[in-house]
Structure 1
């Protein structure tokens, strides 16, 4: 894609647009915009490691390497790319070695951190259908399906997705270009092996986005993003997210048994957001009621963007148990309030790593969650849908404002099996194709 025109954009808007565009020209323009590197030498980021054993065995083990905010909540990197990949043909040992070498190049090039790069590679049910054998019972990886009668999503039926994330836009762009063979060096490390001989990059399935204070408000250039998005909000809908006590731990989302122990599952829902109605029809009190709970609004517990909540979304057991009563008696329930009903022994089931997007030149969200089983995501989504609640649809949390257009389920293996894993590593057979 062509790099965007810089003349009408702020620097932050411009570099986000470059990440969304992708490609060599976008990387070149990004390096010019941010400084600290050039097209020939590439980025100047903290270097990675030559010792793979120094990295966590879990691909999804990001939290210990990422920074935290003033309240101790993990801060996701600011810039994200979901790189969709389709295998040329059935996987074999040479393809596995090539894939592993390409991923190791990224680890040698970039520090495992916000300022460097964190990433995962995950595989769809369609990938595992290439094998005669089946995934072991210890892994719950069903085909994606529509989860409400209001949605008609397209499903991710390619083979794999790589999630690249960094605070530095030039890093995610360079890492992507290096992975697919369009760059000879990444952060000063020679790219001797890339994924180009194994996978096709599916540009029409590529997804990008961002998260961070002030970043959504910069996107009022997009159709559908009103000027009333709070300046300090990290997400398009105006509130903080990712409170550490309201997130599952990395231990909780890790598969415990079987050959894929140490891995996890990932769900990605891509959705459009109706922000004009959210901000210009509803007032702040109504938005707090629908995002959190009526009690949050009445007690002014949230603040302008969630700054009063600190490490938790503030949902007590009593307020979660009162969800049905709030629906009947107050005529409104909160999104977080409903979803919390799916907790197990009081503990959240999902670890969310979602991010805003301007893909398609419309405001949206790539809702990315990791969990031990896809069934746990489905349970939370059903609780959030609130079909059992006697409440008007416009007051049923945020359902009235989100429109799912794509869903995908993935297995993220442990690092030791991340490169084209067989369906059952304990009893590998030849792939079908």
Structure 2
């Protein structure tokens, strides 16, 4: 449905469709739907709360936790809308000071126009601002005759986890834009590429034009109601925040931001981003009965009644224990299956703390057929991602369990993976180490 034709379509569906399409017409239509919902912190010129001095923002681009909506249990909530851009660097090699200044000015224009996430409001129920990550790939640093410790090429990541290396992202850089308002993302994307000279009442003072070119655009949506509206599968619970029906991101499954921050070297204060585009076989997933899905998502030792229809009864923790990870053979023999959360918990560190932090995830809204899924995690090295992803594999376990009873890995198909270093904020504009 064209962005201007809103007959018979809910606001949620309409905004998700507009974000997937992109462009000025989608932005104008999207603003018309979203502007009345914005808080009174905006004025007539600024539809959304404006930002502040970029120098006041966290040193790490990935420092989002204090600027995310949190639920009653203290779990952070991922913003509902995302736009992801795979970028090719077309500037000078090495970059000139003018190019670096232009990229930084463009990013700071977004930060002046929109607050960082919730603006730090602890009681916020909506993310009325913008959160971003700009990362650079091994391919980019190869062009600069440089390398980053802990940044494994995506081809090697795919090989290490038993997947096809041809699925590696071919980009120099990767930009993630997140907000609870689709029109914020559309306006910022247009501003970055010289298609708007003002956003949210603020002047745009820099552009990516002539420096980066868009090679791929991905869009996604997450959150209660959004997923059920987006995906053509009546089995998805209306209150499910993700397409497989359950919550994720429990406090005990998420490390601290400090734990995923690079400690030393030229990128100290930054992090490593793993970007994945997956497809999910939801039809086969929902052909199972509820007890099977509960066991395969969490652990067969857990009582579905203690989990709740979409995981709400778990509160702040997944309730996965060391026993669930150390007694895999006995559990598999008794129950005939293993759980996803149980398996990936085997990749936790010696203090039973997870090593990768889910940063964004969502149902892809730009996929013509099937159900796509965008998954982004941050970690101190790509080795942590490889270890966690490998723990999902069937052949890592010497147990007599069918592939489709082995967590969720058999329902996922990888379409693309990328690895990127997300520099600290003061080095994000075309680093060369």
Q: TM-score, normalised by structure 1?
A: 0.90
* 1:375 correspondence with 2:383: yes
Let me know the Cα RMSD of the aligned residues. 2.0
CA contact 2:355–2:379 (8 Å) conserved in 1: yes
Output the CA distance in 1 between the equivalents of 2:68 and 2:163: 37
Q: How far did residue 235 of structure 1 move?
A: 0.3
More displaced, 326-335 or 409-418?
326-335
Match of 1:412 in 2: 422
Matched, 1:120 2:133: yes
**Secondary structure of 2:276's aligned partner:** strand
Change (3 A) 1:318 1:276: same
How far did residue 180 of structure 1 move? Answer: 1.1
2:124 counterpart residue number: none
- Separation in 2, partners of 1:396, 1:121: 35
| The one of 192, 212, 216 aligned to 2:223 | 212
Q: Report Cα offsets for 1:178-225 as digits up to 9, x if no partner.
A: 1111111111111121111211122xx2111111111111124xxxx3
Q: Give, in whole Å, the separation in 2 of the partners of 1:151 and 1:251.
A: 32
Following the alignment from structure 1 to structure 2, what is the Cα–Cα distance between the partners of residues 259 and 35? 42
Instruction: Mark the runs of 5 or more structure 1 residues left unpaired by the alignment.
Output: 425-433
Match of 2:17 in 1: 17
Q: 2:325 aligns with which of 320, 325, 341?
A: 320
Q: Deviations over 1:278-333 (max 9, x none)?
A: 11x1011000010001012x463211000011111110111121223222332200
Alpha-carbon separation, structure 2, partners of 1:211 and 1:295: 28
Partner of residue 337, structure 2: 332
Alpha-carbon shift at residue 149 of structure 1 (Å): 4.5
Q: How many residues get paired? A: 410
Distance 1:319 1:55 in 2: 40
Pairwise CA distance, 1:142: 2.8
Q: 1:385 aligns with which of 380, 387, 393?
A: 393
Unpaired runs of at least 5, structure 2: 38-43, 118-126
Deviation at 1:335, TM superposition (A): 0.6
Q: Deviation of residue 43 (structure 1)? A: 5.7
In 2: Cα distance, 1:181 partner to 1:207 partner: 20
CA shift at 1:364, angstroms? 2.0
CA distance in 2, matches of 1:359, 1:418: 28
Partner of 2:113: 109
**Partner Cα distance (2:172, 2:106) in 1:** 17
Instruction: Identify the match of residue 73 of structure 1 among 69, 72, 75.
Output: 75
Which residue of structure 2 aligns with residue 146 of structure 1?
158
Q: Name the CA distance, whole Å, in 1 between partners of 2:388 and 2:76.
A: 22
Aligned partner of 1:194 in structure 2 is 207
- 1:365 is the counterpart of 2:373: yes
CA distance in 2, matches of 1:226, 1:322: 35
Q: What are the superposed Cα offsets for residues 118-155 of structure 1, whole Å, 9 maximum, x if unpaired?
A: 111001111111112333x4x43333342555656522
**Aligned-pair distance for 1:378?**
0.1
CA drift of 1:352 comes to 0.4
Counterpart for residue 347 of structure 1: 353
Measure the CA separation in 2 of the matches of 1:277 and 1:380: 24
What is residue 429 of structure 1 aligned with on the other side? none
SS in 1 for 2:272: strand
CA distance in 2, matches of 1:357, 1:42: 32
2:294 aligns with 288
SS at match of 2:426: helix
Higher mean C-alpha displacement, 144-153 vs 351-360: 144-153
1:35 alignment partner, SS class: helix
Give, in angstroms, the shift of residue 5 of structure 1.
Answer: 4.6
**Residue pair 2:154, 2:169 contacting (<8 A) in 1 also:** no
TM-aligned CA distance change 1:85 to 1:299, over 3 Å: closer
| Residue matched to 2:179 | 166
User: Structure 1 residues 5, 325: CA separation in 2 closer, same or farther (over 3 Å shift)?
Assistant: farther
CA shift in 2, pair 1:299/1:231, >3 Å: closer
Distance in 1 (alpha carbons) for counterparts of 2:307 and 2:165: 34
Q: Which stretch has the larger CA shift, 143-152 or 362-371?
A: 143-152
Counterpart secondary structure, 1:368: strand
